[in-house]
Amino acid sequence: YQDVGRSADALAIYQRILASADRADAVTTNLAIWWVSRADVERGLGRCRDARPHYRRAIEIGRQLGSAGATQIARAEAGLAACK
């Protein structure tokens, strides 16, 4: 979506997916990936203020996942660093 200028569409999709996952109390690797991806889109739009809490949410989920969440923790931390 980002590559073809449809970031707003991507954010809307992530919002729906993440809302459903939150209602289901899901804690999965995919959930961490979706939070990081959403934050990456926001950062790409210059909206670091919006992206930061989403990166932090991905880190929180990644920590709950243990070693299975390590990649998403690293991605989220890199995104946070890029937002400075």
In this predicted structure, the answer to whether residue 36 has a pLDDT above a threshold of 80 is yes
For the entire predicted model, the pTM comes to: 0.90
Q: Which of the residue ranges 8-12, 56-60, 61-65, 77-81 would you say has the lowest mean pLDDT? A: 8-12
In this predicted structure, the answer to whether residue 4 has a pLDDT above a threshold of 70 is no
In this predicted structure, the answer to whether residue 25 has a pLDDT above a threshold of 70 is yes
Confidence of residue 44 (pLDDT cuts 50, 70, 90): very high
User: Cα separation of 22 and 7, whole Å?
Assistant: 22
